[in-house]
Amino acid sequence: MNDLDALTDALPGIRAGIVITLELTAGGALLAFVLALALGTTARAHSLVVRGPARVLIEFFRGTSLLVQIFWLFYVLPLLGYQLDPVFCGILALGLNYGAYGAEVVRGALNSVPKAQAEAAVALGFSPWQRLRRVLFPQAWALMLPPLANLLVHLLKGTAVASYITLQDLTFEIGKLRQSTGDTLFAFGIGLLIYFVIAYLLSLGMNLLEARAKHKLGRGPSMREVLRLAPDRSLGTVAGGQKVAP
């Protein structure tokens, strides 16, 4: 059997593996984002009682291996009487690990907003929640999107560890393709291409979100302008039809 025939036979399994990988990516990213917001904001609290537990969680999950965490959740918890579904286990491990990294992104972005903005909100009588929601977060959101996009791509690549807990994800199916063809270069070349396409699409979506966030702050083009294929020549004309340099 040649490589192309083996690939044709493996396509159903690869499609199923892509679905598992996307489920892990979407679920892990959602959990990581929620945790990043919660831990990143509480880590800025003045009270040690609030800030302390957040810092402990952040440092613990940043300081331990994702592989060890997913092994612990899948193989150790059953010894304590808790059996987790493999997909849920993968989502939980990815969310906890990358949520800890995301928390530092959120904390850093919020701290990057000029203090004068928060002081002005206090002068206007805004409550702490109103200051965060209406003043700090909209400005920090545009700052945190680029590093969050990087973390999302890393999370996608991190889903490969799911093959160690019996999940037949994309990496698992690519391994099966290598076994059936005996051609490591061909099989993992296909895997690299698929991962690249998914990562590129995720990055493109995050770039669009970043453009939208910056436009809302008056710092960049609108989404319509970003997606427009033809250049905007409206600035190149004046009354009378004469063209001028923009």
Residues 91-101 have pLDDT tens digits of 999 999 999 99
User: Quick one: which of 31, 15, 41, 18 has its CA closest to 151?
Assistant: 31
pLDDT value at residue 163: 87
* Contact by Cβ (8 Å): 55, 118: no
Tokens of 65: 């291996």
Question: What pLDDT does residue 113 have?
Answer: 85
Percentage with pLDDT > 90 across the chain: 54
Q: Which two tokens stand for residue 135?
A: 């003043």
Which range is least confidently modeled, 10-14, 112-116, 188-192, 234-238?
Answer: 234-238
Q: What mean pLDDT is reported for the chain? A: 86
**Confidence bin at 4 (pLDDT 50/70/90):** confident
DSSP letter at 134 equals I
Residues 191, 203 contacting (CB under 8 angstroms): no
Q: How far is the C-alpha of 218 from the C-alpha of 215, rounded, in Å?
A: 5
- For the segment 155-169, the average pLDDT, to the nearest whole number, is 90
User: 217-224: long-range contacts (C-beta < 8 A, 24 or more apart)?
Assistant: 217/138, 217/139, 217/142, 219/142
| Residue 242 DSSP SS3 | coil
**Amino acid residing at 234:** S
Helix crossing, 137-158 with 3-42: angle to 10°? 140
pLDDT, residue 67, reads 93
Question: Which of 20-34, 83-97, 101-115, 128-142 is predicted least confidently?
Answer: 128-142
Q: What is the model's pTM?
A: 0.85
Where is pLDDT greater, at 211 or 96? 96
Q: Model confidence at 223, in pLDDT bands (50, 70, 90)?
A: low
Work out the average pLDDT over 53-63.
94
**Strand partners for 243:** 237
Q: Which residue has the tokens 């970043």?
A: 210
Rounded Cα–Cα distance for residues 151 and 140 (Å): 17
Q: What is the DSSP letter of 84?
A: -
